[in-house]
Amino acid sequence: MTTSYIDEIKDRARKLLELIERKSSGRAILLPVTKGFGVMEVQAMLEVGLTAVGESYAQEMLGKAKLLNDNRLSWHMIGGIQRNKVRKLSTTVDLWHSVDRKEVIKEICKYRKDSKILIQVDMNGRSKQGGCPPEEVPSLIECAFLDGVIVQGLMTIGVDHDMEATKNTFAGLAKLSESMGLKEISMGMSNDFEIAIDYGATILRVGRSIFGERPKK
């Protein structure tokens, strides 16, 4: 990995931070999505003051966390959650973004009762990337409360190649979050994070706009 590449991604991250700070009036944070990249990219984000990073795969997150061994880092699990991976991840993950069923809540609770989660919601019925229907959110919040798991907010994914549907998705999640009295709204990625800011996002999951295209395996 060249020095020029590291400098470039740090510069991109700084520019995004400035844009997000200005556009959201300090409400939203930038969560660099480092899946598919290495520890050098994570370290570069630390050097620009970004201590939270998003990962989608259990083994990749655990490997980076072990290599870096830096307690400044906050690890966010943003990918689909497999119940058989929860035990290994439970001492590393600081915020689970993609919780969408009671079985996962109970599995998380089994290993760490004070875990913090976001409930992933499929606001439009078109997502192939998980999420519960909006009407199931209250029962999931109740399940988490009874199990001692802390629901910090909601998460959703926009609709590819359809900005109007994405706007409706984000507006719907923001309204649902407000009705539930929740603090965090995780929505918006590289292609739609500015729209997400307009609709009240507090966590923006951005990868490609910082790191470029992921290396092919």
Ordered structural domains, the chain, with CATH: 3-206 (3.20.20.10)
Nearest to 68 by CA among 50, 46, 83: 46
Q: What is the pLDDT of residues 111-130, one digit of tens each?
A: 998 999 999 999 988 667 78
User: Within its chain, how far is the Cα of 42 from the centroid?
Assistant: 15
140-169: pLDDT as tens digits: 999 999 999 999 999 999 998 899 999 999
